[in-house]
Each structure stands twice: as structure tokens, then as C-alpha cells.
């Protein structure tokens, strides 16, 4: 089973502002939707709550510290990485996506196998960021200028 983080970030790793994306980039957003559609999506409770409708594009697995949290859509909730991984193993899937936000990227990055990162031309304000990672741990297997964003596919070395 491959665990894949997918994110879009600005010039300084910005990913969010006031619960939303800091920019509008329909081309990049379509790439995100096309990539994750139908798959298990590991999502932070905050990201889930502010984008419930959008996240229905896949099968959300919500991560929260609150053992009593019950997502309205009936999706399962988890308190730690191990229980998410156990669930995915039982489901016997070949891939699942870590879709953020910051808290959940930070929590899962150590166990992520691949990253699909979009770099957008945004230099403005943000309150959430993609975690720093050591480039030496990763190989870029694909790099593509897609006009409104630069797409990079990383695999852990
Ligand atoms: N640009 C992108 O690609 C992208 C992608 C996704 C999201 N975003 C943006 O990111 C922002 C949201 O990020 P965020 O960091 O505020 O929220 P988040 O990661 O979506 O959710 C944070 C929540 O996850 C739970 N959590 C965090 N660490 C945990 C741990 N160690 N164990 C168990 N549960 C844990 C907690 O839930 P409880 O409080 O319930 O305990 C925490 O409040 C939004 O602005 C969103 O638009 C951007």
C-alpha cells in the first residue's frame, strides 16, 4: 500500500489562510480532484469540517484528537497514524492520499511514500504551511511546468 501526500503550496510553503486555500487556481484544483477521486483520503478534522462537500469526492478518513468526534457523513475517525494504517491494510487498498492540512501533513509525512506537490506562484499571506522536508530523502521522478503551477512527483529514496 502506497501512502501519497498531495498538496499545493506557495513560494514559502504556504498552503492555507482562514480555513481555505490562499489562492484560486482552477487548473491545479482539477489536477487534485482528478488524482484523488474515489480513493481513501486522510484528512485533518479542520480541513474536513471546512470542505465537507469537496471531500466527498473520495472516502475520507478523518484524523482528530477527540475520541468522540463523529463525522456527519459517517466516515470513520482516527486518533493516530497507526490506526489509520491498520484500517487501510484491512481495506486492502493499493494507495491512499494524505490531503492535509498542515497538522495532518506533519503527522503523516514520516510514513508517506510519495508526494505530489504543486508549486503555485503565490507570495502572500498564510496561516498554515507544508512541513519542511529534507530534499536528500526524496527523488523527483517527474517535474512538469503546467503553466499555472509546477508539478513535482517525489518518491522516497
Ligand atoms: N494547499 C493545499 O494543498 C491544502 C490542502 C489541505 C488543506 N489546506 C489548508 O490547510 C488549512 C487547514 O490546516 P490545519 O493544520 O489548520 O488543519 P488540519 O490539518 O486539517 O486539521 C488539524 C486537526 O487535525 C487533528 N490533529 C492534528 N494533529 C493531530 C495528532 N497528532 N493526532 C490526532 N489528531 C491530530 C486535530 O483535530 P482536533 O482539533 O479535532 O483534535 C487538529 O485540530 C486550511 O486553510 C486548508 O484550506 C491546504
Query: For ligand 1, atom 34, which residue shows the shortest CA distance?
Result: 64
- Reported as a single tens digit per residue, the pLDDT across 30-76 is 999 999 999 999 999 999 999 999 999 999 999 999 999 999 999 99
Q: What string of DSSP letters covers the chain?
A: -EEEEEEEE-TTSEEEBTTB-SS--HHHHHHHHHHHTTSEEEEEHHHHHHSHHHHTTSEEEEE-S-TT---TT---EESSHHHHHHHHHHHT-SEEEE---HHHHHHHGGG-SEEEEEEE---S--SEEPPP--GGGEEEEEEEE-SSEEEEEEEE-
Regarding the beta carbon of 63 and ligand 1, being less than 6 Å apart is answered yes
Please report, for residues 1, 42, 70, 137, the alpha-carbon distance to residue 88 in angstroms, rounded to integers and kept in the order given. Answer: 8, 10, 19, 25
Measured from the Cα of 14, ligand 1's closest atom is: 1
What integer best gives the mean pLDDT of the chain? 97
- Beta partners for 142? 153
pLDDT band at residue 2 under the 50/70/90 scheme: very high
- Reported as a single tens digit per residue, the pLDDT across 14-24 is 999 999 999 99
Q: Determine contact, residues 61/47, Cβ cutoff 8 Å.
A: no
Best of 64, 110, 111, 116 for a ligand 1 pocket test (most atoms within 8 Å of beta carbon) = 64
Domains of the chain: 2-156 (3.40.430.10)
- Reported as a single tens digit per residue, the pLDDT across 128-147 is 999 999 999 999 999 999 99
Predicted model pTM: 0.98
- What is the residue whose three cell numbers read 498531495? 6
- Strand pairing category for 40-44 and 95-98: parallel
Amino acid at each position: 500500500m502506497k501512502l501519497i501526500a498531495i498538496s499545493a503550496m506557495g513560494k514559502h510553503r504556504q498552503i492555507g489562510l482562514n480555513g481555505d486555500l490562499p489562492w484560486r487556481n482552477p487548473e491545479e484544483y482539477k489536477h487534485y480532484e482528478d488524482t484523488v477521486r474515489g480513493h481513501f483520503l486522510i484528512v485533518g478534522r479542520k480541513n474536513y469540517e471546512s470542505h465537507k462537500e469537496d471531500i466527498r469526492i473520495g472516502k475520507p478518513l478523518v484524523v482528530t484528537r477527540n475520541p468522540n468526534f463523529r463525522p456527519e457523513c459517517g466516515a470513520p475517525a482516527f486518533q493516530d497514524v497507526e490506526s489509520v494504517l491498520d484500517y487501510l491494510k484491512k481495506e486492502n487498498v493499493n494507495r491512499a492520499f494524505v490531503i492535509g492540512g498542515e497538522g495532518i501533513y506533519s503527522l503523516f509525512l514520516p510514513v508517506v511514500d510519495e508526494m505530489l506537490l504543486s508549486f503555485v506562484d503565490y507570495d502572500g499571506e498564510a496561516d498554515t504551511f507544508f512541513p519542511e522536508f529534507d530534499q536528500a530523502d526524496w527523488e523527483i521522478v517527474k517535474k512538469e511546468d503546467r503553466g499555472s503551477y509546477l508539478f513535482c512527483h517525489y518518491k522516497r529514496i
